[in-house]
Amino acid sequence: MDVVDQTFILAPATELRDIFCDEQAWKALGMNLRCYENRGIDGKRWTLSESLTGTAEVWLEPSHDGVIVHVYLQADPRSRRSRASLKRRYVVPVKRWILDVKAGYEIDRPAGVRPTVHGKISEQGEPGKAVPKKNVSVEEG
Protein backbone atom coordinates (compact mmCIF):
# COMPACT_ATOMS: atom_id res chain seq x y z
CA MET A 1 0.00 0.00 0.00
CA ASP A 2 1.50 3.31 -1.08
CA VAL A 3 -0.35 6.46 -0.04
CA VAL A 4 0.69 10.01 -0.84
CA ASP A 5 -1.55 12.85 0.32
CA GLN A 6 -1.03 16.60 0.20
CA THR A 7 -3.52 19.00 1.76
CA PHE A 8 -3.18 22.76 2.27
CA ILE A 9 -4.40 23.91 5.69
CA LEU A 10 -4.61 27.50 6.79
CA ALA A 11 -3.08 27.04 10.23
CA PRO A 12 0.22 27.46 12.08
CA ALA A 13 2.73 24.68 11.48
CA THR A 14 3.38 24.28 15.22
CA GLU A 15 -0.28 23.48 15.87
CA LEU A 16 -0.52 21.10 12.92
CA ARG A 17 2.62 19.34 14.10
CA ASP A 18 1.02 18.77 17.51
CA ILE A 19 -2.00 17.23 15.79
CA PHE A 20 -0.50 15.16 12.96
CA CYS A 21 2.66 13.98 14.74
CA ASP A 22 0.80 12.62 17.77
CA GLU A 23 1.38 8.86 17.91
CA GLN A 24 -1.80 8.33 19.97
CA ALA A 25 -3.89 9.83 17.17
CA TRP A 26 -2.31 7.43 14.68
CA LYS A 27 -2.93 4.51 17.04
CA ALA A 28 -6.60 5.49 17.12
CA LEU A 29 -6.52 4.99 13.33
CA GLY A 30 -5.19 1.46 13.80
CA MET A 31 -1.50 2.13 13.19
CA ASN A 32 1.27 1.22 15.61
CA LEU A 33 4.15 3.66 15.11
CA ARG A 34 7.69 4.05 16.39
CA CYS A 35 9.43 7.32 15.59
CA TYR A 36 12.82 6.93 13.95
CA GLU A 37 13.27 10.57 12.91
CA ASN A 38 11.87 13.59 14.69
CA ARG A 39 12.25 16.48 12.25
CA GLY A 40 10.99 19.15 14.64
CA ILE A 41 8.57 21.62 13.10
CA ASP A 42 8.94 19.82 9.74
CA GLY A 43 7.31 16.60 10.98
CA LYS A 44 8.20 13.02 11.85
CA ARG A 45 9.03 9.67 10.29
CA TRP A 46 7.95 6.36 11.78
CA THR A 47 8.19 2.65 11.28
CA LEU A 48 4.90 0.77 11.33
CA SER A 49 4.39 -2.58 13.02
CA GLU A 50 1.59 -4.97 13.96
CA SER A 51 -1.33 -4.74 11.49
CA LEU A 52 0.79 -2.81 8.95
CA THR A 53 4.54 -3.05 8.47
CA GLY A 54 6.44 -0.32 6.68
CA THR A 55 6.97 3.40 7.10
CA ALA A 56 4.91 6.53 7.59
CA GLU A 57 5.82 10.20 7.38
CA VAL A 58 4.23 13.57 8.03
CA TRP A 59 6.04 16.49 6.41
CA LEU A 60 4.79 20.01 7.11
CA GLU A 61 5.73 22.46 4.38
CA PRO A 62 5.02 26.16 5.05
CA SER A 63 3.24 27.72 2.08
CA HIS A 64 1.95 31.28 1.89
CA ASP A 65 -0.27 31.78 4.95
CA GLY A 66 -0.63 28.11 5.84
CA VAL A 67 0.97 24.70 5.58
CA ILE A 68 0.89 21.88 3.07
CA VAL A 69 0.49 18.69 5.08
CA HIS A 70 2.18 15.81 3.26
CA VAL A 71 1.35 12.31 4.48
CA TYR A 72 3.20 9.27 3.14
CA LEU A 73 2.41 5.66 3.99
CA GLN A 74 4.35 2.80 2.48
CA ALA A 75 3.24 -0.39 4.15
CA ASP A 76 2.14 -3.95 3.74
CA PRO A 77 -0.68 -5.52 5.74
CA ARG A 78 0.08 -8.53 7.90
CA SER A 79 -3.05 -10.22 6.58
CA ARG A 80 -4.13 -10.58 2.99
CA ARG A 81 -6.70 -7.87 2.45
CA SER A 82 -8.14 -6.53 -0.75
CA ARG A 83 -7.09 -3.11 -1.95
CA ALA A 84 -10.61 -1.78 -1.28
CA SER A 85 -10.51 -3.17 2.26
CA LEU A 86 -7.15 -1.48 2.94
CA LYS A 87 -8.47 1.80 1.60
CA ARG A 88 -11.54 1.66 3.86
CA ARG A 89 -9.49 0.59 6.90
CA TYR A 90 -6.58 3.03 6.65
CA VAL A 91 -6.62 5.53 3.79
CA VAL A 92 -10.15 6.91 4.11
CA PRO A 93 -9.92 7.53 7.90
CA VAL A 94 -6.57 9.33 7.50
CA LYS A 95 -7.94 11.60 4.77
CA ARG A 96 -11.12 12.24 6.76
CA TRP A 97 -8.97 13.22 9.79
CA ILE A 98 -6.92 15.64 7.69
CA LEU A 99 -10.05 17.22 6.18
CA ASP A 100 -11.71 17.50 9.61
CA VAL A 101 -8.68 19.38 10.93
CA LYS A 102 -8.70 21.61 7.83
CA ALA A 103 -12.40 22.39 8.26
CA GLY A 104 -11.90 23.21 11.94
CA TYR A 105 -9.24 25.79 11.15
CA GLU A 106 -10.86 27.31 8.10
CA ILE A 107 -14.53 27.41 9.11
CA ASP A 108 -14.47 31.03 10.32
CA ARG A 109 -12.71 32.37 7.23
CA PRO A 110 -15.19 33.60 4.61
CA ALA A 111 -14.24 33.20 0.97
CA GLY A 112 -12.40 36.23 -0.37
CA VAL A 113 -11.24 37.44 3.04
CA ARG A 114 -7.56 37.42 3.82
CA PRO A 115 -6.57 35.37 6.85
CA THR A 116 -5.70 37.01 10.10
CA VAL A 117 -1.98 36.60 10.56
CA HIS A 118 -0.61 37.07 14.03
CA GLY A 119 1.83 39.97 14.18
CA LYS A 120 1.18 41.26 10.67
CA ILE A 121 -0.45 44.55 9.77
CA SER A 122 -3.46 44.70 7.43
CA GLU A 123 -3.60 47.02 4.41
CA GLN A 124 -5.50 49.56 6.55
CA GLY A 125 -2.68 49.51 9.09
CA GLU A 126 -4.63 47.60 11.72
CA PRO A 127 -2.96 44.57 13.32
CA GLY A 128 -4.67 41.23 12.90
CA LYS A 129 -7.80 42.49 11.12
CA ALA A 130 -9.11 40.51 8.15
CA VAL A 131 -9.38 42.57 4.98
CA PRO A 132 -11.65 41.67 2.05
CA LYS A 133 -9.75 41.28 -1.22
CA LYS A 134 -12.65 42.66 -3.24
CA ASN A 135 -16.05 44.06 -2.38
CA VAL A 136 -18.63 41.90 -4.16
CA SER A 137 -22.30 42.71 -4.23
CA VAL A 138 -25.05 40.15 -4.68
CA GLU A 139 -26.04 41.79 -7.97
CA GLU A 140 -22.61 41.02 -9.48
CA GLY A 141 -23.46 37.35 -9.03
Give the 3-state secondary structure of residue 74.
strand
**C-alpha–C-alpha distance, residues 127 and 43, integer Å:** 30
Q: What is the pLDDT along the chain (141 residues), one digit of tens a residue?
A: 788 899 999 888 999 999 999 999 988 888 889 999 999 999 999 998 887 888 999 999 998 878 999 999 888 777 776 667 777 778 888 999 999 999 888 877 665 566 554 433 344 444 333 333 333 333 444
Radius of gyration of the chain (CA): 19
**C-alpha–C-alpha distance, residues 128 and 116, integer Å:** 5
Residues of the chain with CATH 3.30.530.20: 2-106
**C-alpha–C-alpha distance, residues 1 and 74, integer Å:** 6
**Which residues face 77 on adjacent strands?**
52
Q: Which CATH class is domain 2-106?
A: alpha beta
Measured from the Cβ of residue 35, the count of other Cβ atoms closer than 10 Å reads 13
